[in-house]
A and B are shown apart, each in its own frame.
Chain A
Amino acid sequence: MNTSALIKYFFKTKKISFILIWLTIVISSASFYTMNGFVETLKHRLYHSARNLSSGDIKISSTQNFNKEQLEKINHALQNKYLTSDMLIFPTMAQRDQGDAFLCSIKAVDTQYPFYGTAILQDQLFKPLQANECYIAKEIANRFNIQPGDFLKIGSQSLQVKGVIIELPDQGISNSSAFNPIVLIRIEEANASGLLQFGSRVSYMKLYKGNHPNLTQEQIEKDAENLESKFNTDGIQVSTWKDSQNISRTLFGRLSSYFNLLTYTSVILASIGFYLGLSAFVLKIHSDSAILYGLGISKAILAKSLYQLFFFIITSGALIGLVIGLTGETYIVSQLDSLVVTVKQNKWHWQLILFTLIFCFASGGIIVRMIINTWLKNLNPLQYQMAFSPNYFSIKGMVFYLLFVLGLLLVFSVLQTGVWAPSFAINGAILLLLILLFAFTLSLLFILRLLNKPFLSSPIMYFANIEFFRNKRQHFPSLLGLILSSVLVLGIITSRDAIKQKLSLDKHSDTPNIFMVDIQKTQLNDIKDLIVKNPNTSNFNESPLIRARLTHINDTPLVTLKEKAKQNNDVRKLNFLNRTFNLTYKDNLNKSEKIVEGKFWQPSYDGPDISLEAEFAKSMGVTIGDLLGFDLAGIQIEGKVTSIRTINWGSLLPNFFVIFPEKKLENAPQFIIGSAHVNPTALSTFQNQLVVDYPNISVIDLTDIFKKVQFLFEKVLKVLVVSSALCIISSLVIMASTLLANQSDTTQRHYLLKSMSMNQNQIFLVDFLEKTFYFISLILATFCLHLVANYFLSQQIKEEINFDLYSFCWYCLTVLILVFAPLLLKLRKLNY
């Protein structure tokens, strides 16, 4: 028998149901591809390019130049099995002739650079620099209108720009063009610039590339370990490209888990919508199918036509979803391009396209088979009205389906990331979340039902109560879907506001808007004079800055601390342990600091006390009474933590994680960091003059930095909005499917109640009360879970997230309209 006539009939008569089901497939496919596509891109950049990111097989870095003894140790340890390359990185001011000075990051390299990967220049091939030449980042070229051929002044050197950098292989995830644009120069010019002074913020690096045919990765690791053990107390860090990959893996894992969370939520919502849509569809076609079956069309033919129809729907939905997903991924990459250096080539993630299609067919196909087979089994030509039968949604069926979808997502996650544990963890977390959501919603409904009891004397209230609370199969799936998407959307809104708050500056007219770094002690009085005499500058604050390395915490040496942090994959702590600290000394707190624990010392105190910043102390696991040891250019110093303080970073005053008493460190090798307010219109002039008079001093334009951060943040927010939009559309589809499924049931109920002598107003009241219970359940559940989500989010972003009443009211209003609009628009009048 030709099934096409049957297919056309079903399609023509149940168009709306098909559209809703098709939309859920599109959303599923689009969400799956969009987020996973971006994660794929990140993975390639972070993970597969680890060797490029590390600049070599082994990297040795220090804040001071390597002395003869250290070089001998290195050579002895590595035994000529490696090629060597040197690199320096430091921030400084640069200036084009007759142009404005700007802050940049100098990367000084030799002719071996890069050991791995390819540097990409605009309109030309990369070749090693010659004397007095430099390459500049694209941002410098665009922002300051500097072209190849122009000259750039860096310290005492004047270098000709030979090309514009598009991408460097060791740039990493963060596109430093976003903050300090790169200028690539030769090491010889860096040495001759006069900028490499004692105390300046230079990173000296030695890079090694294996040059021996028998050199295995295990040998490289052994060599690195051997080296590390030789430099335990020298403040020199040794790392291999594997270390870089491990850190990347953790970073990638964390980033991808956030994106996976969004993907999963979107996919789960779409799955709930699909299930509901399919169940509603079955309800709708039941009468017709029973009649057709009675006329002689077999169940097998009915099944065949429906499977063909759904195959078409799933295929077209998946493909359209892929197109939308690709667009979404392109949009996300374009938004985050300033932050993440992305892989420009190969935008087609073929494997992911295949995964997406398989996912759609597997998840859609299995549930179509399950529901249609079950329905057909019970199809009876004599019972063509399902209206008075139990409604068709099975919560057990939906639970089974969601578990199946989670299982599929787990498999794809493992295939994508190559590791089981994080995939299990995220799936487990989602499952737990769903179970908690289920349990919480059920409990809330139970409590609401109990609270309703005093009002049941009214028959209308009594009946509406029964209709809502006993009809879980119809209300529950849509409640779950709406609660989930509401919590997600509200979470994004409130954390956006919290982060915006964090990024906002104090608005006073003399709030510092520049930092000056690398001021020598001998220059301090001149700088103060300069600020005072200049009518466009004010509010100068200075702090001494002493570079130091952490050597131990209590009895635990740094090496052991690092090992523990590596084992625990505590990237944040590892970063703190690896870095060079900026200490300061003073006897008075500034207005942005507040002691929250312990006691700050009195002026002229010279004891070995330390005051720590609160978040830093928490990350390091350090508290009052703990001992911290530092190495200050060879001098060992130890202090006991006696106070912990919070800092309002938005004040833009020079603030430090670690403070010692003035008498303790006043004679240590140091330079000065200062902040000041400069009239924005006079900022360029001030900067240019400073660079000429004091070429060692770098000026950081804080307003510019903040603007850049806010700009990047807005881009990240747009990405979140895209993914939450998919969730919102899913939840609207869920609502529409539920309405559609309930339609005939509601109509029948109206007629029943009418025949039982209820008047129009009473019938309307029953509907209204039912919707009210639904609305109250939704709002209460969302409110409670939103508070819980806020707490967890605040732990993640380390910023307090307050409940935003304004946003919540808007949300309530939106939900109110969505829930009650169908009721108000379709006031049925029954015939007399």
Chain B
Amino acid sequence: MLECQNLSHSFYNEHVEIPILQELQFQFQEGQSYAITGTSGSGKSTLLNIISGMLKPSKGQVICDNKNLYELSDEELSNWRLHQTGYIYQDFRLLPRLTAEENVAFPLQLAGEKLSIALQKANAILDELGLESRKKHYPSKLSGGEQQRVALGRAFAKEKQYIFADEPTGNLDATTAKKIIETLFSLTKKNKTTLVLVTHDLTIASLAQNKISMHQGVLV
């Protein structure tokens, strides 16, 4: 379980405090899917970055398996993210000088797999995602949908407890977006992973088991 306790976060602009999140309390249960919705500037992405271990909150705690994430050392926190979480970005964020299969294999290598095994697993998941003929291609040669599928493959290559997705279909057309979302949900269901998805698309949000609405940094 992933729990937010009294979570607050602010940015500072020339000593003026701009509150983004205010005293949030929430629990994300294992194996469930969550959609965080809200208007622009409501703090959705900030919340996602905090609970995924990427951004330290100004106040409050994020507890996972009885550990406050932000009391862990950089190494321990990185380790947690490497082994427990996968992240899918709106702009894909693939490493430009690695091919599709290398992009998927790289986190596995970081987690301790041998290169050959990592590539084997990467190939398997890319086949599953319909990218057999595109494995050796660099991201610059892939379409948006293909890149996002590679990103999905990277996130799901290893069994993870949590998958965080920040507007994963934001840069895609409707047809491709639909396919991506279907793949995302089927993979999380198959792996019994907790999915936390940020979206402003209510249709996508409706696919999740749980909906969290945010407005001006507060859960509504």
Contacts and interface: CB of A to CB of B under 8 A. Distances in A.
Contacts of A749: 95
A749 B118 CA distance: 21
B97 A756 contact: no
A459 B105 CA distance: 10
Contacts of A754: 54
Given A756-B106, A759-B74, A831-B55, A388 B115 contact: no
B114 interface: yes
B56 interface: yes
A457 B74 contact: no
B218 interface: no
Residue among B81, B91, B92, B94 facing the most chain A CB atoms (10 A cut-off): B81
Nearest to B92: A388
Interface in A520-568: none
A758 B77 CA distance: 10
B78 A758 contact: yes
Residue among A389, A390, A749, A832 facing the most chain B CB atoms (10 A cut-off): A832
Given A456-B115, A471-B97, A388 B106 contact: no
B109 A759 contact: no
Interface residues of A, number: 25
A389 B92 CA distance: 12
Interface string B72-106: 00110111011001010101111111100010001
B140 A459 contact: no
A469 to B, nearest CB: 9
Contacts of A389: 96, 140
A638 interface: no
A831 B50 CA distance: 11
B43 interface: no
Interface in B41-75: 54-56, 70, 74-75
A745 B134 CA distance: 25
Contacts of A388: 91-94, 96, 139
B1 interface: no
Nearest to B102: A466
B97 A755 contact: no
Contacts of B91: 388
A754 B49 CA distance: 12
A761 B77 CA distance: 13
B58 to A, nearest CB: 11
Interface string A735-763: 00000000000000100101111111110
Interface range for B = 20 to 34
A759 B75 CA distance: 6
Contacts of A757: 78-79, 81-82, 85, 107, 110
Given A755-B93, A757-B82, A759-B75, A459 B109 contact: yes
A761 B76 CA distance: 12
B106 A470 contact: no
Contacts of A456: 115
Contacts of A762: 78, 110
B110 A760 contact: no
Contact of A466 (B89, B98, B114): B98
Contact of A390 (B54, B55, B81, B140): B140
Nearest to B70: A832
A761 B73 CA distance: 12
Contacts of A459: 106, 109-110
Residue among B55, B91, B95, B140 facing the most chain A CB atoms (10 A cut-off): B95
Nearest to B83: A757
A463 interface: yes
Nearest to B141: A390
A86 interface: no
A463 B96 contact: no
Residue among B98, B110, B114 facing the most chain A CB atoms (10 A cut-off): B110
Residue among A388, A456, A752, A761 facing the most chain B CB atoms (10 A cut-off): A388
Contacts of B110: 459, 756-758, 762
Contact of A457 (B78, B97, B115, B139): B115
B114 A457 contact: yes
A388 to B, nearest CB: 6
Contacts of A761: 74-75
A718 B85 CA distance: 63
A830 to B, nearest CB: 9
B93 A752 contact: yes
Contact of A462 (B55, B92, B115): B115
Contacts of B74: 759-761
B149 to A, nearest CB: 16
Contacts of B56: 831-832
A363 to B, nearest CB: 31
Contacts of A463: 106
A597 interface: no
Residue among B54, B92, B96, B114 facing the most chain A CB atoms (10 A cut-off): B96
Interface string B20-54: 00000000000000000000000000000000001
Contacts of A467: 97
Contact of A470 (B77, B85, B97, B109): B97
Contacts of B70: 832
Contacts of A470: 97
Nearest to B113: A459
A390 B115 CA distance: 25
A752 B75 CA distance: 17
Residue among B54, B56, B89, B91 facing the most chain A CB atoms (10 A cut-off): B54
Contacts of A752: 93, 95
A757 to B, nearest CB: 4
Contacts of B109: 459, 462
Interface string A427-456: 000000000000000000000000000001
B112 to A, nearest CB: 9
Contacts of B94: 388
A752 B154 CA distance: 13
Contact of B97 (A466, A758, A832): A466
Contacts of A471: 97
A756 B54 CA distance: 10
Interface in A325-369: none
B55 A832 contact: yes
B62 to A, nearest CB: 12
Contacts of B92: 388
B25 to A, nearest CB: 21
Nearest to B97: A470
Contacts of A832: 54-56, 70
Interface string B125-143: 0000000000000011000
Interface string A788-832: 000000000000000000000000000000000000000000011
A463 B89 CA distance: 21
Given A459-B110, A462-B109, A471-B97, A759 B55 contact: no
17 contacts: A388-B91, A388-B93, A457-B115, A459-B110, A462-B115, A471-B97, A752-B95, A754-B54, A755-B89, A756-B95, A756-B154, A757-B81, A758-B78, A759-B77, A761-B74, A762-B78, A832-B54
Given A470-B97, A757-B79, A759-B74, 16 more contacts: A388-B96, A456-B115, A459-B106, A459-B109, A462-B109, A466-B97, A756-B82, A756-B107, A756-B154, A757-B107, A757-B110, A759-B77, A759-B79, A761-B74, A761-B75, A831-B56
User: Top 7 closest A-B pairs, CB basis?
Assistant: A757-B82, A832-B56, A459-B109, A759-B78, A757-B81, A470-B97, A459-B110
